Chain A
C-alpha cells in the first residue's frame, strides 16, 4: 500500500516545570481543548522516574493536520516556564525558534524577565504564583499558566480551555475548587503581558 503525502503545519511547545507542579495536567488540558476545536494533538511528558521537585519537561504538538513526528520537541515555537527558579537552572531557550515565544511564571514583569533570560523578542511574563495563591489558596500554578499560554499562543480559544478544565476537574474536585481554577485561568489570560 502506498500512503499519499500529507503536508504539515504544526506548533510545538516545550514546558518546563518541577515534578508535582501539574505540568502534565496543564499539557493535557491544552490538548483536550485543542481537540474540541478539531485540532490534531500530541502531548507527552519527558518520561522518566518522575520525582517531586525535580526539573521536568513536557511537550505539545498542535496541528491542523495529522501529526507524524513522535520525537521530543527540539525547536519549539513556544517555551513555557511554570517555575521561575528554573530560569537560572535550565537553558529554557534551547532550540527556541527565532520567532518563538517565551511564557514564564515571573513576578516582576517582562522587561526584567527579558534581562534574566537574555532575550527580548516575544517574551511574556505572568505572576502565576500570586494568582494561584489569591485564587486557589496554594501555589499550584499550572492552571494559571495555562491561561497565559492560551493568550500568547492564540491557537486555541479560552472558552475551549475553560470548558475542558471544567469537565476534567469536575470528575476529581468539588465545585469550589473547579471554580477557583477557572478563575485562575481567566485572570492569567488577562494579566499576562
Chain B
C-alpha cells in the first residue's frame, strides 16, 4: 500500500494526473480549481510528467484544445469551475458528440451574479444535458478515486464519452485530509495504455471529425450519444465494483447509509452527504429511524438504484445545492421521476441549500429531518436562507 498523504482535493487530483501522465492537458486557471493546474504545471516544469501542457487563453479555448488533442489520439485531462465551465458550455456538447473520452475535474462553484467564488452545484447542473458523464465526490479521497476511475469509464469502448468528476469548491478542493493514493505502478496498470479510436493522426485510416449534419442525420447521432450514456451506467457500476476490489474502498452509483430500516431519508451529493451521515448517526442515537443517500452519479441518472433505496420510506428530502429558478432544484424532479413507478412511494420534498457556499451545519440538517418527520416540510423548501 502506498504512503498516506495529507492533501487537499485539488492536490489529490493533480497527483492522480501525475500518476496517469496524460498526453495533453489544456486548461485555464479559475478558483477553486487553480491548485490542480498550478500543481500539475509544476510537475510538467520539473519533468515529472511528459504531458504537453497548454495554457489556453480562455476556457472555451481550453476545451477546444482538449477536443482537438483528443481527436488527434491523445489522452486528455483538464479542470475548471463555475464561469469557466459556463464558458465551455458550447464546446462541451462537441466533446460528447465526437465521443472523445476527455476527463475534466470540476471544482463546483456558484455562478455569477452576484459574483461568488464558493461552492454550489449550479455550474455542473448547467452542464447536465451536454452528454458528459457526471460523478460527484464527497471528500479528498473520493476526489482522487473518482479522478482515476473517470479515465477508465471515459475510455471504455462501450462508453467513449467525456467524464466530469465534480468536487465541492473549497470544502473539498482546499481542505486538507488524509488520503491513500494507489502506487503509481498500480495506477499505470489500472489505467493502461491509451487506445485511441480512429485518431486524426492515423494517416492509414483518414477520418473526418465534426462534420455538418442536417435534419436527416443529426437525430441519429444524438440517439447514439444517449445509447452510450445508457451503456455508461453498467460500466460505471462495474468500474466502482472493480475499484473496490482493488483498493478496499467500496463505492456505488447511489449509496444508502442506514437506509434499510429507515422511515425518513435525506439524499444529497458531494460533501453534504458526509455531514448527513454524521447527522443520521446522531438522530439514530436518539432512536429516530433515519438514513441518508449519497448520489455519486448524476449522469447517467441511476433511476432504478435510487428507486430501490427510497421506495417504501415514509418521507424523503432531496437536497439540491442548485436551483432552477422558477422550478425546483435539478435533482428533485429526477428523484420524483425515479419513484413515480415505484410500488410504495414516499412523501417527497425538495430542499434547496448551500448556494454560494452557505455553510451546511449539522443542526440545520437535523432541522430538515425534524420537518420531514413532523410533516411540516412543504414540497419545496429552502435550508439556510434568510427569507
Q: Would A44 and B174 be within 8 Å (CB), given that A1-B251, A68-B274, A71-B360 are in contact?
A: yes
Q: Is the CB of B275 within 8 A of A47?
A: no
Cβ-based interface call for A77 (8 A):
no
Cβ-based interface call for B4 (8 A):
yes
Give me 28 A-to-B residue pairs in the complex whose CB atoms sit less than 8 angstroms apart, sorted by A's number.
A1-B250, A2-B257, A2-B258, A2-B259, A2-B260, A3-B257, A7-B281, A8-B281, A27-B176, A32-B6, A35-B178, A41-B6, A41-B177, A43-B6, A44-B170, A44-B175, A47-B117, A47-B118, A47-B174, A67-B274, A68-B275, A68-B278, A69-B274, A70-B139, A70-B271, A70-B360, A71-B361, A74-B361
Q: Which residues of B contact A40 (CB under 8 A)?
A: 177-178
Count A-side interface residues using an 8 Å CB cutoff: 29
A6 to B252, CA, bound (A): 18
A164 to B354, CA, bound (A): 35
Cβ contacts B249-277/A at 8 Å (1 or 0 each): 01110111111100000000001101101
Partner of B6, one of A2, A5, A31, A45: A31
Least CB distance from A71 to B in Å reads 5
A84 to B138, CA, bound (A): 36
Residue of A nearest to B364 (CB): A71
Cβ-based interface call for A180 (8 A):
no
Partner of A71, one of B258, B259, B275: B275
Q: Is the CB of A31 within 8 A of B357?
A: no
Q: Is the CB of B275 within 8 A of A69?
A: yes
Cβ contacts B340-366/A at 8 Å (1 or 0 each): 000000000000000001011111000
Q: Which residues of B contact A8 (CB under 8 A)?
A: 278, 281
Cβ-based interface call for B16 (8 A):
no
Residue of A nearest to B250 (CB): A1
Q: Which residues of B contact A5 (CB under 8 A)?
A: 257-258, 281, 284
Cβ-based interface call for A53 (8 A):
no
Not counting A41-B178, A72-B361, a sample of 19 additional A-B residue pairs whose C-beta atoms are within 8 angstroms of each other reads: A1-B250, A2-B256, A3-B255, A3-B277, A6-B277, A7-B281, A31-B176, A35-B6, A43-B175, A44-B171, A44-B175, A48-B117, A67-B274, A69-B274, A70-B138, A70-B139, A70-B175, A70-B274, A72-B359
A71 to B138, CA, bound (A): 12
Chain A residues 62-117 with CB under 8 Å of chain B are 67-72, 74
Least CB distance from A52 to B in Å reads 18
Cβ-based interface call for A49 (8 A):
yes
Q: Which residues of B contact A135 (CB under 8 A)?
A: none
Q: Is the CB of B259 within 8 A of A49?
A: no
Q: Is the CB of A44 within 8 A of B176?
A: yes
Least CB distance from A43 to B in Å reads 4
Q: Would A69 and B278 be within 8 Å (CB), given that A35-B6, A40-B178, A49-B117 are in contact?
A: yes
Q: Which residues of B contact A28 (CB under 8 A)?
A: 6, 176
8 nearest A-B residue pairs (beta carbon) = A1-B252, A44-B175, A70-B271, A47-B170, A43-B176, A68-B274, A68-B278, A3-B257
Least CB distance from A34 to B in Å reads 8
Q: Which residues of B contact A71 (CB under 8 A)?
A: 275, 359-362
Partner of B357, one of A3, A47, A70: A47
Cβ-based interface call for B80 (8 A):
no
Cβ-based interface call for B172 (8 A):
yes
Residue of A nearest to B271 (CB): A70
Q: Which residues of A contact B256 (CB under 8 A)?
A: 1-3
Q: Is the CB of A70 within 8 A of B255?
A: no
The CB with the most chain A CB atoms within 10 A, among B176, B256, B362, is that of B176
Q: Which residues of B contact A72 (CB under 8 A)?
A: 359, 361
A125 to B360, CA, bound (A): 33
Least CB distance from B42 to A in Å reads 12
Q: Which residues of B contact A31 (CB under 8 A)?
A: 6, 176
Q: Which residues of A contact B363 (CB under 8 A)?
A: 74
Q: Is the CB of A70 within 8 A of B178?
A: no
Q: Which residues of B contact A68 (CB under 8 A)?
A: 274-275, 277-278
Residue of A nearest to B291 (CB): A2
A39 to B274, CA, bound (A): 18
Least CB distance from B182 to A in Å reads 18
A126 to B256, CA, bound (A): 47
Q: Which residues of B contact A74 (CB under 8 A)?
A: 361, 363
Least CB distance from B239 to A in Å reads 14
